Amino acid sequence: MAKENQLTNAPRDEPRPQHALTVLGAGVMGVGITVLALGHGVPVHLVDLDRELLDRATERIADELRLAELMGSLPAATPPGALVTGTSLKVVAGATAVIEAVTENAATKAAVLSEVSALVRPGTPLVTNTSSIPVDELAGALERPEELVGTHFMNPPYLIGTVEVVRGARTGEPTMAAVATLLEALRRRAVVVRDAPGFVTSRILHPMINDAARVVEEGTATAEAVDTLMQGCLGHPTGPLRTADLIGIDNLVDSLRVLHERTGDDGCRPSELLLQLVREGRLGRKSGRGFYDYT
C-alpha cells in the first residue's frame, strides 16, 4: 500500500476514472469507509494530517479487509482497489468524490470542506459523513454549496448495507445523482432524508443510548442487563450500550452536544456517566474499554 501522493500530478483536463475516492480523516469511520470502498474495487486516497495515525490506519485497513472478506461482506472475485495515503489535501484535485470523515465538530468540518471546495474540480460531489450536524449549516463554507451532501455510514460500513443520505437545502441534483452512483458501486442502499439536526438515525438512536446510560448511572441495572433486555424484549440487535462502544463514546458525546444545542431537547444533554467515561479514556472498542472490556 503506497504512501506517496500518486494522484496530485494528474492534469485537470485528463479524463477521470469512473470512481477515484478521497477520504478525509483516518479515524474509525474514515478507516471503515475506506475498507468498504477498497473491498468493492474502488481506489482510495486516505488523507490525514497525522502521519503516524495514517500508518496505524493502514494496518487496521488491511486487518479489516481480511475480516470483511472472511465474513462474506465483499463481492467475490473483485480485486481490491489501490490504497494511497498522504497528508496533503491537494490530492482531491484528482478525485471523483470526496468523503469527509473528520471529527464531529462543525467548525472543524466547515474549515476542511471550505479548503477542499477550493481545490476540487467543479462538479465533484463533496460528502460530509456527519452523524448530527445539519448539512446546510456546513454548505455555507463552500464555494459551490450545491456540491455538498450528507451521508451517515454506520459502523462498520462494510457490514451495514444501508446508508442514510441527507439532502441539504442547497444540494443539487447532479450531486445527488453522483452520490447515488457511488453508493450503487459500493452495493449500498441509499435512503434519502431531509436535512435536520441528527436527521433520522441519530435523532432517534443517540437519545435512546443516553437514556440507557442514565439507567445504569442511576443504579437501576447493569450495562449488560440493559443490553440483554433491549435485545431479548425489544429486538435491538446488539443493545444500546454495546452500540455506544462501537460508535465511540467520545463521538456519541459530541453528537449529543450538537443535538442538544440545535434542538433544545434536554434528553440530548450527555449523561454524567457518558462524560465520566470520556474523561477516563474509556471510549469503547477503539480504546479497549467502554461500557465493556475488550482487552
Q: Is the peptide bond before 157 cis (omega within 30 degrees of 0)?
A: no
Q: What is the pLDDT, as a whole number, of residue 7?
A: 30
Q: How far is Cα 250 from Cα 113, in angstroms, rounded to an integer?
A: 22
Per the CB < 8 A criterion, the answer to whether 100 and 29 are in contact is no
Lateral strand order in the sheet of 189-194: 83-86, 44-47, 21-24, 97-100, 126-129, 148-152, 162-167, 189-194
Per the CB < 8 A criterion, the answer to whether 59 and 34 are in contact is no
Q: How far is Cα 207 from Cα 192, in angstroms, rounded to an integer?
A: 22
Per the CB < 8 A criterion, the answer to whether 184 and 210 are in contact is no
Same fold: 21-194 with 202-286: no
**CATH number of 21-194: 3.40.50.720, 1.10.260.40, 3.20.20.70, 3.40.50.850?**
3.40.50.720
DSSP line for 91-142: GGGG-SEEEE---S-HHHHHHHHHHHHTTSPTT--EEEE-SSS-HHHHHTTS
Q: How far is Cα 166 from Cα 128, in angstroms, rounded to an integer?
A: 9
Distances from the Cα of 246 to the Cα of 88, 98, 129, 155, 274, angstroms: 29, 24, 16, 7, 14
Q: What is the pLDDT, as a whole number, of residue 17?
A: 64
| CA distance from start to end of the chain | 28
Q: How far is Cα 158 from Cα 184, in angstroms, rounded to an integer?
A: 14
Per the CB < 8 A criterion, the answer to whether 12 and 121 are in contact is yes
Domain boundaries, given as residue ranges, for the chain: 21-194, 202-286
List the catalytic residues.
152
Per the CB < 8 A criterion, the answer to whether 190 and 251 are in contact is no
Grid cell 441528527 in the structure block, residue: 198
Which helix (H) or strand (E) is 189 found in, with range?
Answer: strand 189-194
Count CA atoms closer than 13 A to 272's CA, side-chain side.
4
Instruction: Kindly state which CATH superfamily the domain 202-286 is placed in.
Output: N-(1-d-carboxylethyl)-l-norvaline Dehydrogenase; domain 2 (1.10.1040.10)
pLDDT, one tens digit for every residue, the chain (295 residues)? 444 433 333 334 455 568 999 999 999 999 999 999 999 999 999 999 999 999 999 999 999 999 999 999 999 889 999 999 999 999 999 999 999 999 999 999 999 999 999 999 999 999 999 999 999 999 999 989 999 999 999 999 999 999 999 999 999 999 999 999 999 999 999 999 999 999 999 999 999 999 999 999 999 999 999 999 999 999 999 999 999 999 999 999 999 999 999 999 999 999 999 999 999 999 999 999 999 999 9
Q: What is the pLDDT, as a whole number, of residue 77?
A: 87
Grid cell 494511497 in the structure block, residue: 84
Q: Which pTM was predicted?
A: 0.89
